Amino acid sequence: MNGKSGTNVHALDPLSRPVERNPGTDYDPDRFGGLRINRSAVERRAATLGARRTVKKRHQAAWLLRALTCIDLTTLAGDDTPGRVRRLCQKARRPVRPDLLDALGVTDLGLTVAAVCVYHNQIATAVQALHGSGIPVAAVSTGFPAGQIPLDLKLAQIRASVEAGAAEIDIVISREKALTGDWAGLYDEVRAYREACGEAHLKTILATGELGTLTNVARASWVCMQAGADFIKTSTGKEAVNATLPVSLVMVRAIRDYHELTGHLVGYKPAGGIGKAKEALTYLVLMKEELDRRWLRPELFRFGASSLLGDIERQLEHHVSGNYSARHRHPSG
């Protein structure tokens, strides 16, 4: 069945198999200690993703709607207020104008973003604003963004956020452990985070722009997955360099290898600097080609973004009307 503008509605149907959480494994440095990442080879492969036309025009609207459902709509600013968070949650509930959904023939799908991500102090506001929507609240934790606080305070932050209603916790790893090769220490730390989360899902932020090498990115990915991470995530959005295709390729291939070894599924979340719909489509193609269609859903793939939703809505309007509207008509919150 196609929508009024030729949208392939079946492309949006969720995959039926449920995703079981990654329980982690014992710490096993033999699985990653010998890894050496060839940056030139990674960059050549990544360049092929960004250079070619990713999605044909008649399928583009469906892929954009898919990307929309994988967004963690985020506000992590020092001037966040309850009013701003409530507006963001309202946009999360209704991410696309009703007239555009009607024109695309997808009104009945009830599309929303994947989650709303906030600081701890705004969890209660977000939970109240999203009540009944099925949209989870994610909270950054463990001394985000630098992570330079003691472990006991990090664990207390996680427990407090879960108690306040956060269903997902985005933690930052201790970069010093990765930079000094203390992989066992990093494993123990992330394992403690997983236990503190309880039923809340754990996303581990590697802060890849501060890890120095792609080899460190690959090893940190493996350690976090062994420790029980539900997602591995590129960045806080506060580093000088955030999500990039080469880094994403390394992390996604680590997910693939871990799945082939253990059978466990781990999600991926690029964050920071992804503000254009075209970029989002490239990341979806990356997931489909390097993994498979199971990773094209919010249970296993997220964008950490604040401005991406606005550009997706703008591109959908162009698909429907043939015209681009001004960017200020598509605020994200």
How far apart are alpha carbons 63 and 47 in whole angstroms?
21
Q: Are residues 72 and 113 in contact, defined by beta-carbon separation less than 8 angstroms?
A: yes
Catalytic residue from among 72, 170, 230, 311: 170
Please say if 238 is a catalytic residue: no
How far apart are alpha carbons 127 and 79 in whole angstroms?
19
Residue type, 259: H
* Rg value, the chain, Cα: 19
DSSP 189-241: HHHHHHHHHTTSEEEEE--GGGS-SHHHHHHHHHHHHHTT-SEEE---S-SSS
SS3 at position 246: helix
Q: Are residues 62 and 276 in contact, defined by beta-carbon separation less than 8 angstroms?
A: no
Nearest to 112 by CA among 300, 311, 298: 298
How far apart are alpha carbons 223 and 32 in whole angstroms?
8
DSSP 103-169: HHT-GGG----SEEEE-GGGHHHHHHHTTTS-PPEEEEESSTTTT-S-HHHHHHHHHHHHHHT-SEE
Q: Are residues 127 and 29 in contact, defined by beta-carbon separation less than 8 angstroms?
A: no
How far apart are alpha carbons 188 and 151 in whole angstroms?
11
How far apart are alpha carbons 74 and 88 in whole angstroms?
8
Catalytic residue from among 91, 177, 203, 269: 269
SS3 at position 172: strand
How far apart are alpha carbons 222 and 88 in whole angstroms?
34
Catalytic residue from among 91, 203, 233, 311: 233
Please say if 278 is a catalytic residue: no
Please say if 170 is a catalytic residue: yes
> Residue 273 gets which letter from DSSP?
S
- Catalytic positions, please? 170, 233, 269
